Structure 1
């Protein structure tokens, strides 16, 4: 028994692989193209673990996908691989169309060919698990109820539009071809191994370096925050027991404004790594808001709790403390991912 994971060297994917091998002896074949956000350092603890087979490759490479399926005969494909940063999608949408739409199409077609030829028992057991985002639902007003699985899709950025398209492809391959799929739409993840261009790690890294902490607009954009290992547990629950063709929202029940997140990070750093120059909040700098910035996301995660018994184990207070402590303890990891290209990107986006 084996599972095939795409994007397993990225933030959520690597946490999933590490978490999977902590809780299971079932091997993982891990396919990742190692673009800017894919980092094998995330998986250093598995370097000599025979349960982890890493393959560098592109999800748009149909021949490679076919070869991996034929060789390893996985019982499930868990699809994380995606371009996922909204700001990057605004500056360069083409990569998002290719990876998120064409790549998902390639995986679906390869999985369909593989699944169709399986013996009856293996065919019934196979799953294609597509990992998506709450951003496909668009933006909420302050008084709107959280996103449910029945909400219409209203993507507002090239990133969310490409993920919405991939969700629709997965649904269509189930209804047209019978491919046994499940989809999960998660809220904002945070935790270890998060590439430091996203909000929380960027604030930690910049604060420790004495750099400005850039906050878009008025900082009142609201997100639901989900600790990454809680997300991994939710994926495992859906993979094991989710109904075929269904979508499950995975959320943290933690709606927070961006500025409050930044101030919380500053307060934790004041406690854990005080700066002689003064409180880290002195570094907060408001910058021009990005185009099409959604105002509020919130996830209604009652369906997954009702059907599968999943709820997040971490509160935001416990999760954000663990996250800040991890970054303080892993300065070498941070320095390794901060390549010249990464610094150029941050300068381009926030200067």
Structure 2
């Protein structure tokens, strides 16, 4: 379904609540290890807080990725070619997205995001910065196949998925997303789509944990905002003051885990359902997997993408990978 302005509408109930948000929260809180998918961080406040996180001195990924985009633009342009529709999976960053758009001279820009208000704001800012570029924002959950606007149907596609957001997902979910990206961008009239994707790299534990527990507690506020969103949108009664942010490195799974830890026993309701947590119990809110060259390539190949070129920043903290959709062939 689309509104008059061309922005797709997220499936909401009669009270205006995103049905998928309610379903994910209720399912996650009912588990023994409570867990809520990280994509629900990004209401308007959460999106603003994440922008603030990227400016913290401990949070290196944005600076490292921006360095690559700034320094390697001519290489992107040569490999990608002009006039593609850049399909960004997530609202455009005020810094990173313009660097890519300036480099590759696209024919159109299509940001996809579940947070409608933040999507519209970022799309408006980019339209102002690039007045001759057609911008077609689509409010949608890009974890599933998304119908792109008719205006870009005939254009070759370049997917853009910066920030190592792919690392927020367990491998099977990440593979599903990569496959849905391929489905969203289609076959491009015989021209296979490309994907420029950010992946954070394995490094010292101290550096990783500091990046997710900054001294100004912006990441803590970002994590706790999820509880405020649940209370506001799902008639929750969660005592937010009785939860604390935790970020730990799990070496077995090569990932940073973010949790909301109950500092004492709590009882609360969400959408009319009751839940209890003991002191020390947590709600697992985010994974941030870190990659080696081999694990990154393995993930892309499993998702239907063939790596073409890989770049890292000068300190080799972060990578950007250009991949092309693997040609689908009938089995012999």
TM-score by length of 1: 0.33
Q: Which has the higher strand share?
A: 2
Higher relative contact order (CA 8 A, sep 6+): 2
